[in-house]
Every structure is written in C-alpha cells, then in structure tokens.
Structure 1
Amino acid sequence: IRGPGPTRGPQQIPNRLIHVACVCAGHNASRDVVTLVKSILFHRRNPLHFHFITDTVANQILSTLFQSWMVPSVQVSFYDADELKSEVSWIPNKHYSGIYGLMKLTLTKALPSNLSKVIVLDTDITFATDIAELWAIFRKFTEKQVIGLVENQSDWYLGNLWKNHKPWPALGRGFNTGVILLYIERLRRIGWEQMWRLTAERELMSMLSTSLADQDIFNAFIKQNPVLVHQLPCFWNVQLSDHTRSEQCYTEVSDLKVIHWNSPKKLRVKNKHVEFFRNLYLTFLEYDGNLLRRELFGCPSQASSESTLQQALEELDEDDQCYDFRRERIMVHRVHLYFLQYEYTPTADGTDITLVAQLSMDRLQMLEAICKHWEGPISLALYMSDAEAQQFLRYAQASEVLKNRKNVGYHIVYKEGQFYPVNLVRNVALRNVNTPYVFLTDVDFLPMYGLYDYLRKSIVQLDMANTKKALVVPAFETLRYRLSFPKSKAELLSMLDMGTLYTFRYHVWTKGHAPTKYAKWRTATTPYKVEWEADFEPYVVVRRDCPEYDQRFVGFGWNKVSHIMELDAQEYDLIVLPNAFMIHMPHAPSFDISKFRSSPSYRYCLTTLKDEFHQDLSRKYGSAALKYLTQLQQHISMA
C-alpha cells in the first residue's frame, strides 16, 4: 500500500506525536487540504495531530470527513476563525486570501497553551517525504530561534519586479510562510503577540496595507529580529510560481521534500520539472484515501469508533451466504460534504423544498437537465472513487449551467466494498438539506417545468407543517433519448395516448406505481389520497424529519419500497398531486440490476434481508405493521 519511504534515521523516533496546523476556510481550501493531508499520511510513520483554524463551512466539511475517514493514530482539533478575526481585522490586506491570510499570526493565541511546537502549512502544499524529517529540524534550533522558514524563491522582496514596486521590508530575499516551524512555547515567552502587532502598526504607517498577507508581517518582524529565525533548506518549500528561482534551489529532483503550488495557475507554471511536480500532485489528488487507513507499527489504535466497527465485524458469521451484504451495512464510507461552492438563503415563508437524489459517474450527464427543470435547492450525493471525484470536479467547472448554480450541494461518498450502498448514499443527501421539505427522487427523472413552485403552493394548501403527509408526484417514462418535454398535463396526456410516454415501469414492474391510480389522475383536479400496497415505491415530498432509508438494502431491489413502507407504518397519508409529474429518461441498465438478474445468491440474500426488515418493522411499530407480514405471506403463496 505504501511507497518505499525514507529509511528511518536516528532522528525519526516512532510514536512521537507530530502537530500540524492549517488555516482552512471555504469549499475550495477544504478540497485542497485533503490532498495535502493525503500526501502527509502516505509517507508518515508517526501519530499526527492536525489543528485546523476554520470557518463554519470548512469545519462542517472537515469534521465529517475525518470522522468518516477513521485514519488510525490521527487526532483532529478545530478552532473557530470567527473568534480570531478581531485580532487581525484591523490590518488592510490586498492579498486574495483576505482576512484568513492573516490568521497564522494568531496561532499562539488560538492553539492550546500546552502545545510546545507545531508545523504550520498552507493548503496548497504536497509532501514528497515523511513529515517527521521536518519535525526533527526543531532540534537544530539554537536557544534563541523561534521560527523556521525557507527563503523566498521569488524576487518580490528585492523590489525589482517592476517600476515603483515597493515591498515590505525583509531580510535579503525574505522568507516564504507556506511552511513554518513554529516554536510556540518560545514565541509566547518573548511576547510574540505584542511584537508582531507593533511591527505591523509601524510598517502600515507608510505601507498602508499588506500585499502578501501574514508573509509581509513575518518578514518585517524577522528583519528587526534576525536572530529569531532558523533558515530551512530550500527543498522544504519549493515554490512553484512563475517568478521564482526554485530551479536554482535543488540540483536533483530526488532532493525535493515539499512542493508549494503558490501560483494561481497551479499546474501550468513554467518549470523544467513541472511534469514531475504535476504527477506527484495528481497522484495524491486521485489517490484512494481508504488505503491510508492502515495501522502504524507500534501505535495501538485509540479511536473508539474503530474498535466498535472492528467488534461489529467480528460478530458477523463469515460462512453466512449473505456475509458481504451484512458487512456492507456496518461499513463506514468516507464522506466529503459540499465538494463544490454552495450558497443557500432560506426563504421567509418556511415552505422551501430541496430536490434530493443520488448518482454515480454514469449518470453525470443528467445534472444539467435537472438544473434546467428545477430552480430550487438540490442536495446530491455522488458515489465515486477519489479519481472519479476529480473528473466530476473538472466536468462541473467546465459546465456553464453547473458553474452558475450555487444552491446545489454536492456530497461525495467514496467508493468501498462490493455493492452500491444506495440507501446510505441517499441518506447523506437527505441529512444535508437546509430546507423544511424534501422532494425524494432519482437522478434519471426530469421534473416537469414549474414543479418547484407548484410543490411549494401544495405544501401550504395541504397544511404539511401540521400534518403527516407524503405528496406523490406521478412518474412517467419515455424510451426515447430525445424527447420534446411536455409543457403541461394536457400535453403529457396526449403523448401518453400516442405512445410517446408510458406510466413508469409499465412494461416491467407495474406494481411499483399502480397504487398512484393513473386512470384517476388523468381527470383529477384536486389532490386525492391513495392507500399503501405491497411494492409501492412512489416519489414523494415529505418534511425533512421523515425516516431515513434503511441501509441494509444495497445495490438493486427494495431500497425505496422499504422506505415507503416505513412512511406508511408511521401513518403518513399518501396524497397524489393532480397537476404534478416527472419523466424517467432512458439509460443503460445499472451494474447492480444486472447482478440481481444474473445471480441467484443475490436474489436469495435480498429475500432474506426483506424478511429481517419485516421483523424489525413489527418490533418497532407493533400491530400497525402486521399488514406488511400478511402482504408478504400472500406474496409468497402467490409465488
């Protein structure tokens, strides 16, 4: 699983805890920091403690990611950037990083008082070696040195980049703050907080603002106090922007330890070794993060969630024919919430509704069409590998439609195991909704134009805030890849009569939607109630606090049926909307339906899981759930 990392020298003491701090704000930085963390985890042999100074967005994303990643011998702590803003908000900063670019100045205040040393990193860093080698340099500090930095590889602080270029004062070429060894204990002792403030106040009188955020203040401080800096060899921060002398820093590419993508152009910078840098970066970008869950030698795992999972695995019977299905149910998948920029403002009337769906790589082409048909918020969970997530990112960034829609939450559930954990993936989308109501659908359906507004009106008319209702949106399908989408119910009915459209699953599984009573719907002008029947699996609008999907159902079969059954057990009224519809678009059959059709053991296990689900339902809802068992017995006797 791991590459041939550096041999353990005398300075690499196993089990020594290494502390790493990072300022991370927003969706993009949260994505970048994952690549940095992967590169550190890949090479490391020591336990790690990550300290993240985050805004609310990054906190939610990274706390969920690390919780679900469950990497052994890794601790994570979060610190609220909002509480630190007042420390630096008085400093005018022209750098694109804004106020967060100044946060590193506050670390002595933000981090725990018992923390002695920390490595501070920008999010656009990739490690090519074990971070323990960098940590070991602390031992080379003289008694007076408090900060370790690599010299700047650009001419910025020399002030000769253009006419009238006037940078902040610096020692020689100055230092780059993308990688810092911070001896926090000593910094506190010398009164760092007061010292950097005085430096900033003095320089701002003539400079008016910072151009390179914290870097300007660090450099002005070092110019005044050169004895406090320990200069790190340049290969600990090879800076890849167009104006750097990074190529003069190293003779052999094999010398490199840390690569810093400090150019907005990232992979397009000019450097004779750019292919090597690119490949290293892409390796970690697309590297399967599940492989980093390996135990460290000599580091007994402390995490209780890991031991609970291990215990649950040990309780499974490996000889059970359905072992793989049962194992899937207790597997913890890595989850990266809000993979792309997300913005949502709640509506004042409390009727807002989110379209909820899940998909994998083969359904990506549906996203643009759904966005054109549904203007409201959307919560999508995408089941993908690390490499596919990067393909998706490129696809979304290249699409005008997706780029301009900020109210779509994309949540990546990383692939693992043999089956598609469809209900687990649905639940991730459902849990991360910001509206009081949800429209539970599938990604291969296009809602009618105007459905979003129609559903919001129906929510008010049917008093859904105070009643237990599930509004059914009737489902239709076309077998044509190019469909002139009906603009109204009347148009849809004529297409139905012409054979351009069919009621959904008309050819293969009529039971799934027959209780919608399509014949009644044709002439209905007001909502009507329908009764639950076995195998009913309509697409519904419910309150956000509805039951979650049952995660024992994976792959194909019974994943939605079981959900509707539980809604019925909880006494939700099923109400069909007279002027709503959605249309299923054709696509190749999924891998899971092929498995279901071709494998008798798959079908056997699905039947076993159904029986167990029925028993659990009876235990949970008592006599109210008896009808499901009766239906099941009738079903078996008919079969």
Structure 2
Amino acid sequence: MAVLRYHQFRKPMSGLRGDKIWRWRCQWSVVTICAIALVLYNAAANIWLLQPPSCPPHVTQPPTEPPTCEPCDAANPSVDDDPISRIDLRLGRWDGSRSYKMFDYAAVGDLYAELSSDRRVCLATQSSIERLHELLRIAAHWSGPISVAVFVAGDELRLLRAFAMWLFRCQPEIYMRIALHVVTPSERPGVPGHVPTWARDCEAKPLPPYEIKSDTMTWRVRHPYPQNHLRNLARKNCQTPYVFLVDVDIVPSKGMAESLDKFLAKAPKCPLCAYVVPTYELDLRVASFPANKSELLRLSRKKLAIPFHRKVFIYNQYASNFTRWEATGGNESVHTHVSHNVTNFELLYEPFYVAPDTVPGHDERFLGYGFTRNTQVYEMFLIGYQFRVLSPIFTIHWGLQARRTRPLWREKQNEKNRKHFETFKRELFARYRRDPLHLLRRPPASKKA
C-alpha cells in the first residue's frame, strides 16, 4: 500500500512537470520566431530606405517625347541667378577694430579663376552702391579678371543683390570675369530685402538713382566711407602676380590688360618697381573715350582733357610729370614701355600703379577722404620703390573736377585724417628709421589731401 501510494503520488507530480516543460518550449519557439521575423523586417526596411527615390516623369512633357527624370535636388533657378543671397550675414571676418565685417567672394564669375591663372594683372577696385554702375565702363575696356569690393549699409544689400542678378542675366560676358566682395558696417549691417524688378529686366538701366532709402542715406552722410578697408579687400582677393588698383570711376584705355601682359612678360625683374599709369580728367562734352594716346593729346591741347586732380589738388599726380609724358607723342605703334622714372617724389603723391601685391597695405585708420592713398604710396617710397611711368597706355576720369563742388563733410574728414597722419609718420620713422622728406621737422601738414 505504501508503494502504491508512492506511485500514485509521484505520477501526477511527473505529469505536472512535463506540462510545464512543454509550455516553456512553446513559449521559446514563439519568441524565437518573433525575433527572426523582426530581424527580417528590419533588413527589408533598411534595403528599401537605402534605395534612391525615383522621380515621377514630367506630366507636362509631350507624349511623343520619352519621359525624363531630372535630379530631384535640382537647384532653384531663383537662387542660381541671385548668388549674393547665399551670404550668411552671421559670418564674415571682422576688421581690426570690429567696426566692419567683410565677406570674400560673395559672388564669383565662372571665368574669374581661369583668367587669374592665365593673366598677369588683375584690376582691383572698390565702390559704394550709388557708383557701382561705373563698373560697366571699366569692364568694357578691361578683358582680365576684376576684383570688386562693395560697401553696403542696411537695405543697400538688396540693391547689390539686384545688380549681381542683372549682370548674371544681362551681361554674362562681364559677370564671368568678376569677383564681388562685400563690406558692411557693424552699426548698420546689411539686411535682406525685396529685390527690385529691374534685376531681371535686361532692358532696364541698373541701379536707378534715388532708390536707396532715406534713413540709409542719412546714416551714410554721418559716417565716413571706409575706402582703405575696401582697397585692401579688393587687392588681396586678386590671384594674379600683379595688381592694378584703381577707383571705380577710373576707366582704363582699351586693350590695357593685354598690353600690360606683354610688357610685364618682357620687363626685367624688379621687385621694388611700381608702374604708374597716367590719369586724365575728360570733359563731359567729349562724345567718346579717346581711342589712343594721340587722341588724348589732341583733347589735352584743346583743354578738354587735363591731368587728374590738377584743379582740386595738384600734388595728387604732379610727380608723374605729365609734360614729359606728353612730349613723347602718341607712339601707338610702340608697345607699352617705360616713358620715364619719377624723380621728384612729393609727399602727397598718389598715382594709380601696377605692382605685385607685396606692397604695403592701406592703413585702415584713414576713413573717408584725405590721406587714404598717399600715405600708402609714401610708405612704398620709404621702402625704396621706384615709380616708373608707362606709355602709351592711360586711364580716364569722366568729368572735370572743381574744388567748389567739394561738400563740407568731405573737408571735415580730411581734417580728421590729417591728425591721424601726424601719428602715422612717426610710426613710419620708428619702423624704417628714415625721414627723407624731413616730415618730422615740419609743422602739421596744411595741404589738402
């Protein structure tokens, strides 16, 4: 009975344990199957996600033509012809005083890099918005690369965008040779705005007058124009061995880029040479740009062309000796050559010259007008640069200037820069230990710069 009772007790215990084992095995099989299914699902999903999406065919395409699939991430055409819209105004680089922010290569033409590799000279210039249209005159005569620094404040950025768009659409042969750089003040940084309709109208005249908002114009009158910041920006972004730095209203004679290339290819090596290009003012009554030096000399004899700044500031170009340059005649059949050397250097001499960009930078303490260019040329003189006047090439400024047309604010800026010059000349003496013009013995400069 005891044995029977034992077996009777053990038998159901064994059945209970087997039932538990069977249920555990079933549960394990279900978990395994679910895990395998989940792995297969994830693998299939990853393969599907990694496949490139297919673009639907254009429904507007005629049925006779095969359907096409353009890249799904094709660029927006409205962005393509508005290159300056890509500027991130939160970036850029500051000047030494953190008063101005600079943006290199805000817009670059397709041929700028290639031309910079093929040519020896890059034309560098700078401008404000209201004078930027002068760039078209320069580009019509200069076939090489052009580096342009533009100053914009506040809403003027939209006008620069519009001008770049207009060039891109309507003057592609000019746009492709240009690199545009931007300087904006910290007090009134550039802001995006509505681009005017003329930006996409090739029949329209770009940058019509009176388009700048009145509050921006008021701000501009109270704040000096940072010429030297812009000059440094434009010239430092030239990629050629030589730079020809001019103001935006100085137009080169026709074919000058090619002529300078030939001259510099044969010129003897002279690391401390600056090649001066004579500059004349042209009476607005003259109908067309002088075709050559002979034509310019004919206009000079009729007093329709005079040396640059002769009436408003004679020291500006006096040392170039225009009398000697004119005495050599036209000589159009002769290639560009050195007419003569500058031997009577003047303190306030500020020629437009061609030189490597190893020359000293333009001191950015000088803001507005006065002492902005001649201080840089004076430092070149201290270093030992030789200024050599070229012929028969030349540059032209349209319009004869007169001192009575100078605004009062310009003279105030000139006085302020004269005070900076007193410090500047002492710094140069400390740096080079030379004072060939005896500036430290003179009283503060009283001439108009």
- Stretches of structure 1 that go unaligned for 5 or more consecutive residues are 1-144, 150-154, 168-208, 216-261, 268-280, 294-304, 310-327
- State whether structure 2 residue 336 is matched by structure 1 residue 505: no
Equivalence for 2:101: 333
Counterparts in 2 of 1:347 and 1:166: CA distance versus 1, 3 Å: closer
Q: Report the Cα distance in structure 2 between the residues aligned to 1:588 and 1:507, rounded to whole angstroms.
A: 7
Equivalence for 2:323: 519
- Matched residue of 1:365: which SS? helix
Q: 1:383 aligns with which of 138, 148, 151?
A: 151
- Matched residue of 2:393: which SS? coil
Q: Report the Cα distance in structure 1 between the residues aligned to 2:65 and 2:326, rounded to whole angstroms.
A: 74
- State whether structure 2 residue 413 is matched by structure 1 residue 608: no
Equivalence for 2:179: 409
What is the CA-CA distance between 1:454 and the residue it aligns to? 2.2
Counterparts in 2 of 1:480 and 1:567: CA distance versus 1, 3 Å: same
Equivalence for 1:577: 390
- The amino acid that maps onto 2:435 is A
What is the CA-CA distance between 1:635 and the residue it aligns to? 4.7
Q: 1:528 aligns with which of 326, 334, 340?
A: 340
Counterparts in 2 of 1:473 and 1:381: CA distance versus 1, 3 Å: same
Q: Report the Cα distance in structure 2 between the residues aligned to 1:454 and 1:557, rounded to whole angstroms.
A: 32
CA contact (8 A) 1:366 1:443 kept: yes
Identity between Structure 1 and Structure 2 (%) = 24
Equivalence for 1:212: 71
Equivalence for 1:361: 129
Counterparts in 2 of 1:514 and 1:631: CA distance versus 1, 3 Å: farther
Q: Report the Cα distance in structure 1 between the residues aligned to 2:445 and 2:315, rounded to whole angstroms.
A: 12
Equivalence for 2:261: 456
CA contact (8 A) 2:117 2:239 kept: no
TM-score, structure 2 normalization: 0.66
What is the CA-CA distance between 1:627 and the residue it aligns to? 2.6
- Matched residue of 2:437: which SS? helix
Counterparts in 2 of 1:332 and 1:415: CA distance versus 1, 3 Å: closer
Q: Report the Cα distance in structure 2 between the residues aligned to 1:595 and 1:286, rounded to whole angstroms.
A: 39
CA contact (8 A) 1:528 1:575 kept: yes
- Matched residue of 2:240: which SS? coil
- Matched residue of 1:477: which SS? strand
Equivalence map 1:237-636=2 (5 Å): 264=77, 289=89, 329-343=97-111, 344-345=113-114, 352-385=120-153, 387-399=155-167, 402-405=171-174, 406-417=176-187, 418-463=223-268, 465-480=269-284, 483-524=287-328, 526-531=338-343, 532-586=345-399, 594-597=407-410, 599=412, 602-622=413-433, 624-627=434-437, 629-630=439-440, 632-633=442-443, 635=445
Q: Report the Cα distance in structure 2 between the residues aligned to 1:288 and 1:482, rounded to whole angstroms.
A: 44
Q: Report the Cα distance in structure 1 between the residues aligned to 2:88 and 2:283, rounded to whole angstroms.
A: 37
- Matched residue of 2:391: which SS? coil
- Matched residue of 2:350: which SS? coil
What is the CA-CA distance between 1:637 and the residue it aligns to? 11
Provide, for residues 458-501 of structure 1, a one-character-per-residue CA deviation record: whole Å limited to 9, x for no partner.
323432x4431001111100231654211121111110011111
Provide, for residues 314-338 of structure 1, a one-character-per-residue CA deviation record: whole Å limited to 9, x for no partner.
xxxxxxxxxxxxxx95524142424
Q: Report the Cα distance in structure 1 between the residues aligned to 2:349 and 2:249, rounded to whole angstroms.
A: 19
Equivalence for 1:205: none
- Matched residue of 1:616: which SS? helix
TM-score, structure 1 normalization: 0.48
CA contact (8 A) 2:317 2:351 kept: yes
- Matched residue of 1:606: which SS? helix
- The amino acid that maps onto 1:514 is Y
CA radius of gyration, larger in: 2
- Matched residue of 1:390: which SS? helix
- Stretches of structure 2 that go unaligned for 5 or more consecutive residues are 1-44, 188-222, 330-337
